Structures are given as structure tokens and as C-alpha cells.
């Protein structure tokens, strides 16, 4: 995938968003808006942010992703941050970024499972 291109795929009620490996700040900011409008347009209930190719997560990227998760929650959607690489997990934690209240999964497969379960539960209790 060319750098700077955000891919958005819809699978049933879930949007799968693949973050490019080394996005500039504009791409990251635009990703937020792109995701929110795509959630609305597709009436999606779940969002997977696949960051498995992302090599650098700095405080700007982290803030934008955390914000996006909160905004999606306001729209009634559930987000999973998927595929954070080991070196990135070490670095972001040392940097002091917490990603509190963000669901995470090892890979997209597991993120799909998590969302399916969570969305089923919601359906049952309604």
C-alpha cells in the first residue's frame, strides 16, 4: 500500500481501516474524519484500526487514535486497535502513552472475534 493511503473496507457491520506504515500528520488527521464519516455512511457498529504495519507511534498519532475511538463510541460504535508491533508497544509505553479505554487485539482475526462477541451481547440484552 502506498504510504499515506488509508484503506477502509466494510465487512458486515464492521469497518476495517488499515493505517499506512508511516503516515504524515495530515494523513492521520484526515483518517479520523474519514473513519467517522464512513461509520455514519455504512451504519457500522464496529471499527478495527489495523496498525500492524505502523512503525512509529508518537504522541500526536496516539492522541488522534484515542480521540477517534472516543468519537466512534459517541456514535454508538465499538473500536478495536489491532496489531500493534512489539517494538511500538515498548516505545509508546515508555513514552507515557496509555491508550486507556481502548480495546486491543493481536491481529485483525482476533479483533473481528472480539467485535462479533461484543456486538452479539449488545443485541441479546436489547
**Interface residue list for another protein (CB under 8 A):** 22-26, 55-60, 62-63, 86-88, 90-92, 94-97
Residue number, 25 or 120, with CB nearest to another protein: 25
Least distance to another protein from the beta carbon of 61, Å?
A: 8
Least distance to another protein from the beta carbon of 107, Å?
A: 19
For the CA atoms of 62, 65, 69, 74, what is the dihedral angle to 10 degrees?
110
Residue number, 24 or 120, with CB nearest to another protein: 24
Amino acid at each position: 500500500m502506498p504510504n499515506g493511503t488509508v484503506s477502509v473496507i466494510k465487512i458486515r457491520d464492521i469497518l476495517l481501516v488499515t493505517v499506512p506504515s508511516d503516515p504524515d500528520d495530515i494523513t492521520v488527521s484526515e483518517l479520523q474524519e474519514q473513519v467517522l464519516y464512513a461509520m455514519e455512511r455504512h451504519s457500522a457498529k464496529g471499527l478495527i484500526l489495523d496498525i500492524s504495519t505502523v512503525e512509529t507511534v508518537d504522541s500526536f498519532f496516539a492522541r488522534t487514535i484515542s480521540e477517534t475511538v472516543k468519537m466512534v463510541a459517541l456514535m454508538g460504535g465499538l473500536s478495536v486497535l489491532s496489531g500493534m508491533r512489539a517494538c511500538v508497544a515498548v516505545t509508546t509505553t515508555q513514552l507515557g502513552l496509555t491508550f486507556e479505554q481502548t480495546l486491543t487485539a493481536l491481529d485483525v482475526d482476533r479483533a473481528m472475534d472480539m467485535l462479533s462477541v461484543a456486538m452479539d451481547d449488545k443485541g441479546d440484552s436489547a
